[in-house]
Amino acid sequence: MVDDADARSGADAAHLEGCSECQARMKVVAEDASSIAALLAVPEARVDVGAAFQGVMQQPKSQPALVRFPILRPASRPTFALVAAVVAAAVVIVAFTFSGFFFKPTTVKTVPVTVADVQALSQLADYGTITWSKEPQLQATTSAADASSVAGGLQPPTVSKLPAGVSTNVTYGAMSEAVATFTFSAEKAAAAAAKHGKTLPPMPAGMDGATLTITVGPAVGEVYGDLNRPSADTNTINLPQLIIARSAAPTAKATGVTVNDLESFILAQPGITPELKKAVSAIGDPSTTLLIPVPIEYATSTQVTVQGVDGVALGDNTGVGSAVVWVKGGSVYVVAGSIKQSEAINIANNLK
Amino acid sequence: MQLGARLMTSVRSEEAAFEALFTAEYARVVGIANRVLADPHEAEDVAQDVFIDFHRLHSASADYAPAWLHRAAAHASLNRLRGARRRLKREVAQAMQEGDRALDPQKQMEVNEDRRHVRQALARLAPKPAAALALRASGLSYVEVSQALGVGIGQVGTLLRRAEAALRKEVTRGTSD
């Protein structure tokens, strides 16, 4: 019996109608509730929703992290294909933003990025045109064999033992190999810079018309967890419990310009923070290192050894998720989920 | 451009979903914070922080979005209420509140004093009952309170009754001190 008519069950409502004792008790409850409501009464706050929205959107800290790691993305609604797209996007973002730095990565390193860095790097997309010579096909399947056939025969890794509490409900996702070519245009770059009122760093000789061809995928992955079940506790986000993905290491080929020239040009973009410049300069051999952009305030990363090679382990600061990334035998592997970092490393070491 | 186009569509629809969520829930989120703080300006401050936090980490189309915002508004404003440093500033602001100018100064002083006592009492309650009272007094239904606080719908009535009794006790204690 409650003082919210909508919350009363049919049986309670019917009983209340005919029971004078309950009616009297109900009256006391309702009076108590309204006297408390009166105690807490305040003059109504008048708000200007439009102005407040503009204010919130102008706060730089309100910008969502564009390089949000897949594990941090709430997945209560997105379809499996979208999850697959997000995983693929992480690879694509890495490839696009840092493509100047590697040709065939054999190891991984994280670099801290800020919102300003991401905004500055995303402007690079306006400096030329992208054409796809092979578009990626994304597909979610229920069998490993189907996923493998979409991904040109690449086998999804097999987990030997799931941590306690991780659902055995599994969905496979696959992405076919994709090839895109970016052609730099001095004219477009100048126009883009002028539009943002910025002065462009000088383009290296031969950069106008230079091309950068990037190959990403094929990639396969499996997602454990019931993605459609709404979260019962609002404290927790309904993340996929575990994502395991394997992708052919992205490769890049440039014509007309050298890797060093590209690196200097990208790092000279207005808006790139000194922290990112320093982190990138500290990377030993840029042509063999896959850089993983990690939002500076979200994640801490540590170097770990996985399957006998160097990898990075990421754990977000709230303790809701962790991830391990490594490169081995020409493939990039990712294990991520709402699990402990030690569990992620354990799964990574036991992947078959 | 299949992948690029999909990503752009997904970014745009996320922005549109956030704007729709903001428009639908902003006044209510401010209302919850104002109920706790009795200060519309500070309440707007809390509400904007709550939306900023939400936007950074969550998808606006998530089913749990309104419940998350309501809960966060209640807890964030209760945390502010407990912050001793801000209390003085708020009380000064409350005394100057425009909404009550029609009252005569003597009456206004009494109203402000009452509000201050009630808020002090609310700050002394445990977080869950305090949040339940603030949410219910802000017009949330039992179902919405249960979703915001992550408790079963059947427990909301009991939670509220106990919270009401606890608040009454604290108010009485506050005035007899």
Token couple for B159: 């939670």
Peptide bond into A202 cis (omega under 30): no
Across the interface, do A45 and B122 touch by the CB < 8 Å criterion? no
Helix (H) or strand (E) segment spanning residue A219: strand A219-224
Q: How far is B77 from chain A (nearest CA, A)?
A: 14
Q: Looking at chain A, which residue has its C-alpha nearest residue B48?
A: A56
Give the position of tokens 């229920």: A142
Alpha carbon of A161: minimum distance to chain B alpha carbons (Å)? 30
Name every chain B residue with its beta carbon within 8 A of the beta carbon of A126: none
**Contact flag A74-B147 (C-beta cutoff 8 Å):** no
Contact A305, A325 (CB under 8 A): no
What pLDDT, on the 0 to 100 scale, is given for residue A43?
Answer: 86
Tell me if A262 sits within 8 A of A100, measured CB to CB: yes
* A15 Cβ contact partners less than 8 Å away, ≥ 6 residues apart: A22
Residue B64: which of A32, A76, A137 has the nearest Cβ? A76
Answer yes or no: do B122 and A40 touch at CB < 8 A: yes
Is residue A156 a contact partner of residue A243, using CB atoms and an 8 Å limit?
Answer: no
Would you write out chain A's pLDDT as a tens digit for each of its 352 residues? Answer: 567 777 777 777 788 888 888 888 888 888 888 888 888 888 888 899 999 998 888 775 544 433 333 333 333 333 333 333 344 444 444 444 444 334 556 666 676 666 666 666 666 667 778 778 887 777 777 778 888 888 888 888 888 777 777 777 787 888 888 887 878 888 887 887 777 677 777 777 777 888 877 787 788 888 887 655 444 443 344 456 788 888 887 777 777 776 667 777 777 777 677 777 776 666 655 566 676 666 665 556 778 888 888 888 877 545 466 788 888 887 888 888 777 778 888 888 888 7
The verdict on a CB contact (< 8 Å) between A235 and B67 is no
Beta carbons within 8 Å of A260's beta carbon, 6+ residues apart: none
- Put simply, whether A233 touches B (Cβ < 8 Å) is yes
pLDDT confidence of residue B76: 92
For residue A185, what pLDDT is reported?
83
pLDDT value at B176 more than 90:
no
The helices-and-strands tally (H runs, E runs) of chain B is: 8, 0
In this prediction, residue B3 has a pLDDT band, given cuts at 50, 70 and 90, of very low
Distance CA A58, CA A55 (A): 5
CA distance A189 to A268: 14
Closest among B111, B110, B112 to B95, alpha carbons compared: B112
Separation between Cα atoms, residue A287 and residue A77, nearest integer Å: 38
* Chain B residue at shortest CA distance from A1: B157
Q: Residues A144-182: pLDDT tens digits?
A: 888 888 888 888 888 877 777 777 778 788 888 888 787
> What pairs with residue A317 in β-bridges?
none
Size of the A and B interface in Cβ pairs below 8 Å: 152
Q: What percent of the residues of chain A are helix, what percent strand, and what percent coil, each to the nearest 5?
A: 35, 25, 40
Q: Is B136 on the interface with A (CB under 8 A)?
A: yes
Confidence of residue B15 (pLDDT cuts 50, 70, 90): confident
Full-model pTM: 0.47
Task: List, as own/partner pairs, every contact residues B125-130 make where C-beta atoms lie below 8 angstroms and the sequence separation is at least 24, other chains included.
Answer: B125/B163, B125/B166, B125/B167, B125/B170, B126/B166, B127/B75, B127/B78, B128/B159, B129/B159, B129/B162, B129/B163, B129/B166, B129/B167, B130/B36, B130/B74, B130/B78, B130/B163
Separation CA B141–CA B95 (nearest Å): 31
CA distance B37 to chain A (A): 9
pLDDT at residue A284 in the model: 56
Separation of alpha carbons A334 and A173, rounded Å: 14
- C-beta pairs of A59-64 under 8 Å, 24+ apart in sequence: A59/B48, A59/B52, A60/A115, A60/A116, A61/A115, A61/B52, A61/B56, A62/B51, A62/B52, A62/B55, A62/B56, A63/A115, A63/B56, A64/B14, A64/B55, A64/B56, A64/B57
The interaxial angle of helices B142-149 and B65-82, nearest 10 deg, is: 70
Q: Do A2 and B157 touch (CB under 8 A)?
A: yes
Q: Report pLDDT for A77.
A: 31
Containing H/E element for B126? none
> Is there a contact between A235 and B59 if contact means CB atoms under 8 Å apart?
no
Strands (E), A11-137: 107-113, 128-134
- For residue B130, the model assigns a pLDDT of 95
Distances (CA, A) of A209 to A100, A129, A188: 15, 10, 11
Choose among B169, B158, B153: nearest CA to B118: B169
Contact of B160 with chain A, judged by CB distance below 8 Å, is answered with yes
Matching residue, tokens 């029971």: A19
CB < 8 Å to B27, chain A: 45, 47, 49
Q: What is the mean pLDDT of residues B127-151?
A: 92
Question: What are A212's strand-pairing partners?
Answer: A182, A254
Q: Is A199 exposed, middle or buried (0-12, 13-18, 19+ CB in 10 A)?
A: exposed
Say if residues A73 and A86 touch (Cβ distance below 8 Å). yes
- Binned at pLDDT 50, 70 and 90, residue B88 comes out as low
Yes or no: say if A330 and A215 are a contact pair by the CB < 8 Å rule: no
Amino acid residing at A4: D
Q: Does an H or E element contain B28, and which? A: helix B2-37
- ipTM associated with this complex: 0.81
The whole-angstrom separation of Cα B159 and Cα B125 is 12
Looking at the complex, report in whole angstroms how far the Cα of residue A320 sits from the nearest Cα belonging to chain B: 12
Contacts with B78 from chain A: Cβ below 8 Å: none
Cα–Cα distance between A138 and A176 in angstroms, integer? Answer: 7
